[in-house]
Amino acid sequence: MASGFFALLDDIAMLMDDVATMSKVAAKKTAGILGDDLAVNAEKSSGFIASREIPVLWAITKGSFVNKLIILPAAFLLSAFLPKVITIVLLLGGLYLAYEGAEKVYEFLAGHKHHKPELLSQKLTEEEILASENDKIKSAIFTDFILSVEIVIIALGTVIQEVIWVQILVVSFIAVLATAGVYGIVAVIIRMDDFGYKLISYNEEEKSLSDFFGKLLVKALPLVIKSLSVIGTIALLLVAGGIFVHNIDFFHHLIPALPSILQEFIIGLIVGAVILPFVVLLKWLWNRFFK
């Protein structure tokens, strides 16, 4: 009886060791998407009245958890009954990531400027403020759903050969980490300027230490968001290229002389550049004939 109990403990220990090992691998694979997720949500969660930023971010966070509750069971069912579909979905996700990364590179080179978030003014009525908030919350949750699908599928792709319990534990851990980690960091980022203003108003001295750090935080906020966008774009192309290199033999042997990180970036950029004009054409046709 005792030997059976200790054998069970040994099996659990081995399982948790496998989960820990595979979680590290999955976290590295999804790091690029998490970076983009962070940049996107930091941008979408800013532009509100200071007193509403945290409530709005909490609403988006709850929506993100609901997204994961929908996506995770569907992904595990596919893994259990149609595992080959995971690779197909992974490649489709890679195409989307490559397109998104290439689009951001094109917009940067072409000098296209993103619209700044519309600031909510105190002049608006309460109903107008709530309506604007709800629209932005719905948009953010929809974007989170797309990114969550990518995160879950990429994480699942790293453990697809493992037993189902390892898959469930690893992917669920990555999903929770994606939501709690990303939105926790976003909460800190979007409050940087408010904390900076509080430091500036801490005392009446013009060149005090609190003034220096306060102004530094206020000036750093747009730079942080912009740098996250650049890092996220690079990460998108790296993740997309990695998906193609590791799942399609043609890409694996296309430019073997280059270091793997450069190889993945170039392939991700090339695939994205090929897809971009087709997507632009489809959008134009849709707007021309269906709107």
Among 35-39, 177-181, 224-228, 257-261, the minimum mean pLDDT is found in: 35-39
Cα-Cα-Cα-Cα dihedral sign, residues 47, 142, 35, 100: negative
Beta carbons of 241 and 265 less than 8 angstroms apart: yes
Beta carbons of 232 and 103 less than 8 angstroms apart: no
pLDDT one-digit tens code per residue, 96-147: 889 988 998 998 888 765 544 444 445 666 677 777 788 888 878 887 887 7
Beta carbons of 243 and 33 less than 8 angstroms apart: no
Q: What percent of the chain has pLDDT over 70?
A: 77
Give me 115's structure tokens. Answer: 């619209």
* pLDDT band with cut points at 50, 70 and 90 for residue 69: very high
- How far apart are the C-alpha atoms of 228 and 224, rounded to whole Å? 6
CB atoms within 10 A of CB 47: 16
- How far apart are the C-alpha atoms of 172 and 166, rounded to whole Å? 10
CB atoms within 10 A of CB 126: 7
Average pLDDT, the chain: 79
Give the model's pLDDT for residue 6: 41
- What SS3 string covers 185-224? HHHHHHCHHHHHHHHHCCCCCCCCHHHHHHHHHHHHHHHH
Give the model's pLDDT for residue 121: 45
Letter string b/e over residues 30-44, b meaning 16 or more CB atoms within 10 A of that residue's CB: bebbbbbbbbbbbbb
Give me 42's structure tokens. Answer: 């930091």
- How far apart are the C-alpha atoms of 77 and 37, rounded to whole Å? 25
Give me 34's structure tokens. Answer: 């998490």
Q: Position 234: which residue type? A: I
Give me 64's structure tokens. Answer: 């993100």
Look up tokens 């990429």; give the residue. 154
Q: Which residue has the higher pLDDT, 105 or 1?
A: 105
* pLDDT band with cut points at 50, 70 and 90 for residue 68: very high
The model's pTM? 0.71
Beta carbons of 90 and 243 less than 8 angstroms apart: yes
List of residues 6+ apart from 255 with CB closer than 8 A: 263, 266, 267
- How far apart are the C-alpha atoms of 50 and 250, rounded to whole Å? 51
Letter string b/e over residues 57-71, b meaning 16 or more CB atoms within 10 A of that residue's CB: bebbbebbeebbeeb
Beta carbons of 45 and 225 less than 8 angstroms apart: no
Residue 274 reports pLDDT greater than 80: yes
